[in-house]
Amino acid sequence: MMAAILAHNSQLSSQLPAAVAGIIGGLGVGVGVLMFIFAAIYALVGWGMWGLKNWARIITIAFVGLWGILCALNVLLSLMHFNIFAIIWAGFWLAIYGGILWYLFQPNVVAAFAGRRTMAATA
């Protein structure tokens, strides 16, 4: 009886690492595919930004706005747990995202992406 229990436990313990390895491997493949999809989206938007396409500017504004909101939530969570490094790091990225949004809403940038030329100010 004891030999049967020991045999069953050893069989179960030898199958468990294989199952865990299979799950982790599947998650790794899924994350890799998701990263590839995001990389393709960012490459497409980057190509559109390079070509001054207005749709790329709008998508960039949406992405930067989304990341800015998540970064602001990170600042709030860092304040709740008072992690000074996380507060400074999230504040740094929040400033970067704010600068990007400020730039993309400048009238000459909007005009460039809309295909209009603006007259340069003469000094």
Write the secondary structure of 95-116 as one string of H (helix), E (strand) and C (coil).
Answer: HHHHHHHHHHCCHHHHHHHHCC
Structural domain includes residue 40: no
State the greatest distance between any 2 C-alpha atoms of the chain, in Å, as a whole number. 97
Local structure of 39: helix, strand or coil: helix
Domain that holds residue 93: 45-123
- Could you tell me if 25 and 77 lie in one domain? no
Residue 83 DSSP label:
-
The contacts of residue 107 (CB under 8 Å, 6+ apart) are: 118
pLDDT at residue 13 tops 60: no
pLDDT in tens, 16-34: 677 777 888 889 899 999 9
Please report the pLDDT score of residue 80 as a whole number. Answer: 87
pLDDT in tens, 64-112: 999 999 999 988 888 888 889 988 999 999 999 999 999 999 999 999 9
pLDDT at 5 over 80: no
Looking at the structure, tell me whether residues 58 and 111 fall in a common domain. Answer: yes
Domain identity same for 53 and 87: yes
Average pLDDT estimate for 42-67: 95
Residues 103 and 56 in one domain: yes
Same domain for 64 and 121, yes or no, is: yes
Residues 66 and 86 grouped into a single domain:
yes
